[in-house]
Amino acid sequence: MTAAYIALGGNLGDPRHQLLDAMDALGRLPATRLLRRSRLYRTPPWGVLEQPPFLNAAALLETGLGPHDLLDALLAIEQRAGRVRAERNGPRTLDLDILHMEGVRIDDARLTLPHPRIAERAFVLLPLADLAPDLLLPGQGRVAELLAAADTQGCECLIEGRLAE
């Protein structure tokens, strides 16, 4: 069994409902247990700026699936949520990315692990820090240190559907 960290995001339809449904679906994957999930964060769009804000979260799984099988399972969950891959960084109902799998380094045509752009993205680092602030991402650094250097302007933690105070 391997620890796997998954990023979740969406900004179309009912993102809160879609993220919570996706977390449930992650826990139902074969040979997989959902160990922990982060709080939800409202974050500004990244890349394509003319779109609604996103909701983002992260999940920690324990899985017996290999990296490519896990990727295929995530893509199937996205598809069931109505994901249409129209443009890179554009609006979407659900986006699931493998951020890191303990002890796994991959760089092929389908998958790079750890995810190569974690350090650039507060919308990934905030929820990941809820789960594992001391996690060392090979070639990038510790999550807490990466988050301290990230621009978190416009990011808001949601608690039970309300903005955190």
| Catalytic site residue from 95, 108, 121, 162 | 95
The answer to whether residue 92 is catalytic is: yes
The active-site residue, picked from 37, 42, 97, 121, is 97
Look up 72 and say whether it is catalytic. Answer: no
Active-site position among 28, 39, 42, 92: 92
97 is catalytic: yes
Cα dihedral 28, 32, 35, 39 sign: negative
Catalytic residue among 83, 85, 88, 134: 83
CA 66 to chain centre: 18
DSSP assignment string, the chain: -EEEEEEEEE-SS-HHHHHHHHHHHHHTSTTEEEEEE--EEEE---SS-SSPPEEEEEEEEEE-S-HHHHHHHHHHHHHHTT----STT---S-EEEEEEETT--EESSS-EES-TTGGG-HHHHHHHHHH-TT-EETTTEEHHHHHHHS--TT-EEEETTEE--
> Annotated catalytic sites, by residue?
83, 92, 95, 97
